[in-house]
Amino acid sequence: MNALFLKLLNMSISAIWLILAVLLLRLALKRAPKWVSLLLWGIVALRLTVPMSIESAFSLLPSAQTVPANIEMTRAPLIDSGIEAVNAVANPVISGAFTPAVGASVNPLQIVVTICAYIWFAGVAAMLIYTAVSYLRLRHSLSTAIPMESNVYQSENAGTPFVLGVFRPRIYLPFDLSEQDTEQVLAHERAHISRRDHWWKPLGFLLLAVHWFNPAVWLAYALFCRDIELACDEKVVKALGGEQRADYTQALLKCSVRPRAVAPCPLAFGEVGIKERVKTVMNYKKPGFWIILAAIVACAVLALCFLTNPERDNFTLRITIPAGSQEKIVYSDTEISPTKGHIIVNAGEGLGDTLVQIKPVYARTETAYDEPEYLTPGMPVRMEAEKGAWFQIGVSVQNPTDEDIDVYINVENVQVRIASTLGESMMQYRTEYIGDAAAVSKIAQSLPYPGGYAYSSIKLQTEHEPYELMVYLTGGGSGDEADFDSCAAMAFDCIGNMGKISFHGVDGEIAAFTREGYEQNMKFFITIGAEGVSRIEYSLPGRSGGMTNADESLFKPGERALLFDKSFGLTDLRGLEITALDEGGNIVWSAAVPDTKENRGTSYLKQDGWVITNVK
């Protein structure tokens, strides 16, 4: 439910900008037909309803995703409103309040988002229950209504004329209407039915119920109800003469009712904005062709600008400078790929004068990228880079303190991805916290258990370290502790602060593993992902190695080979640089895993069809 809530929250925030645009456009289109206003609200409804949107260079939305979908799990949570001033004020507060403590078993934002999701769901349920109860009470009060003709009824409980019903709408009239007023009222209510307003208003209310937390949506719904009545009046009066319009306004005044609490029904004759409606009826003039055309064009432009998401090619990247770091260059754990032949770099929050450098992760040309550029706040730097290649970007910042610090750098003309993108199945559920029970459960269900065993349930021990995952299995087989080694390895990869995992069958514990023992026995394998590879080279700071086939033949795509074992001294992939070369020494493929805290425990890398893993 958290993911659904965050998705709706971002949709609702995006709709605020569209609602503001509609408010301005309604003022500019006062002379246009009133149905145009309803068309504008229909565009708002699409923004609130459709969960996906195409990107467009014409989009005027500042941001398509203000709240990141993974904000619950990030070490330093940030929002991206698309407005730097807002980000500068909000992000330090959010990061300061919700950055998880070292050793915590759960990210505090997981709790906050979960609570908010339940509050949202309770609000939706409350509004729908209130509406259902109100509707049933109204239907009960009209049970004694007397039919007049077709779908028209009279009732002593009808204080004003209105339409009630979605699939079989009925018109209810009070007994004290004169014959002249009845004629005008019926014309109005029948116009509602012919325009399907008894459908659109409940649908609008349903969207309000889903987005009840957004004040802008409440305002939009109130104006939508007003515009429904104005459009209906227009439909009726455009066929009336001056004297008949006067009779119509008299009927409006007699049947006017006070504005009531927001509800999806009924459609009352004098429900909203009597003063404005009387003035509009008496001053009605048929709109000219060019006004109608201009209004339609304006609606199309509005849809293009606010139903599409902005093309994102500028990003603010966080670079964490570890405590006591004296590294010449510290790189971001987010990789960038130029969308043009160059990138534009600006200093962000926390950065003074510094050197900035890019390092290829995967590049097809031999262009040198080992010369840093000087970066000064307020003075953008243009850096040439191969379009479509992948790079890490770093800055020269030392940190003599005993705490990590974060600095930010703004990069334009790029797309981004998280370094060492994790692969398939359970890897999509990877979490830093064993207390993230939903993700941990998914991981446990996805493990490749030995034949005969099947997942049943889990228990978590999060009271003290080492935090433990206990997996309970059904069935049985010939599996012993060694058969569960790969299951344990994958689980350690996917659950950042898990210190122990144990597997239990019907007869008790089958196997148990600790992170310390797991890391002491690591072997890394590589699956070849390209043709023509003759040699593979790998390195860490101060260490390097390489491998070829014993018969000097080329590696085959899909072939899996031992890359290195525990003698290499590597317990995860942090800091690893690997390059595959052809017979001429040209680079076929390369990858690098930044040596950062976020990559602790990373022992699975999948990129461009190549796979490196500690699991054979």
Q: How confident is the model at residue 501 (pLDDT cuts 50, 70, 90)?
A: very high
Q: Please indicate whether residue 480 or residue 508 has the higher confidence score (pLDDT).
A: 508
For the residues 509-513, what does the mean pLDDT come to?
89
Report phi then psi at 479, rounded to 5. -65, 140
Q: 407: how many CB neighbours lie within 10 A of its CB?
A: 21
124 φ, ψ (degrees, to nearest 5): -60, -45
pLDDT digits over 194-232, tens only?
Answer: 888 889 989 999 999 999 999 999 999 989 988 888 888
Q: How many CB atoms lie within 10 A of CB 310?
A: 18
Q: Give dist(CA 124, CA 206) in Å, integer.
A: 9
pLDDT bin (cut points 50, 70, 90) of residue 270 is low
| 99, 104, 338, 368, 584 from 590: Cα distances, Å | 33, 35, 17, 15, 16
Helix (DSSP H) and strand (DSSP E) numbers for the chain = 13, 28
107's CB contacts (< 8 A; 6+ apart) are 72, 73, 74, 98, 100, 432, 433, 436
Q: Is 432 exposed, middle or buried (0-12, 13-18, 19+ CB in 10 A)?
A: buried
What secondary structure, in 3-state letters, does 520-570 show?
HCCCEEEECCCCCECEEEEEECCEEEEECCCCCCCECCCCEEEEECHHHCC
| DSSP percent split of the chain into helix, strand, coil, nearest 5 | 35, 25, 40
Q: Which of 16-20, 273-277, 289-293, 571-575 has the lowest mean pLDDT?
A: 273-277
CA 18-24-27 angle, 5° bins: 140
Q: How far apart are the first and last CA of the chain?
A: 36
Please state the rounded mean pLDDT for residues 445-456: 79
Strand ranges across the sheet with 342-347: 314-321, 405-412, 342-347, 381-384
Give dist(CA 85, CA 77) in Å, integer. 17
- Whether the ω angle into residue 169 lies within 30 degrees of 0, i.e. cis, is no
pLDDT for 333: 75
- Spatial distance between the Cα atoms of 3 and 1, rounded to a whole number of angstroms: 5
Structure tokens belonging to residue 149: 């003709």
pLDDT of residue 426: 59
Do the beta carbons of residue 337 and residue 317 sit within 8 Å? no
Predicted pLDDT at 477: 64
Place of tokens 């390489």: 546
Helix intervals (H) in 71-214: 84-98, 108-141, 179-194, 197-210
Instruction: Give residue 307's pLDDT band: very low, low, confident or very high (50, 70, 90).
Output: confident
Least confident of 66-70, 92-96, 100-104: 100-104
- For residue 472, the SS3 value is strand
Q: Structure pTM?
A: 0.57
Q: What is the mean pLDDT of residues 430-459?
A: 83
Reply yes or no on whether the pLDDT at 265 is more than 90: no
Where are the extended beta strands (E) located within 313-450?
Answer: 314-321, 330-338, 342-347, 354-362, 373-375, 381-384, 390-395, 405-412, 414-418
Can you give the C-alpha Rg of the chain in angstroms?
32
What distance in Å separates the CA atoms of residue 410 and residue 316, rounded to the nearest whole number?
4
pLDDT tens-digit readout, 117-174: 999 999 999 999 988 888 888 888 888 888 888 888 888 887 778 888 888 888 888 8
Neighbours of 507 (CB within 10 A): 7
- Cα angle: 22, vertex 27, 33; to 5 degrees: 90
CA gap 495, 493 in Å, rounded: 6
How far apart are the C-alpha atoms of 209 and 48, rounded to whole Å? 11
Taking only the tens place, the pLDDT of each residue in 414-424 is: 877 655 433 34
Token digits for 217?
């949506």
Report cis status (omega within 30 of 0) of the bond before 266: yes
Mean pLDDT of the chain: 81
Return the closest-CA partner of residue 414 out of 506, 497, 529, 334: 334
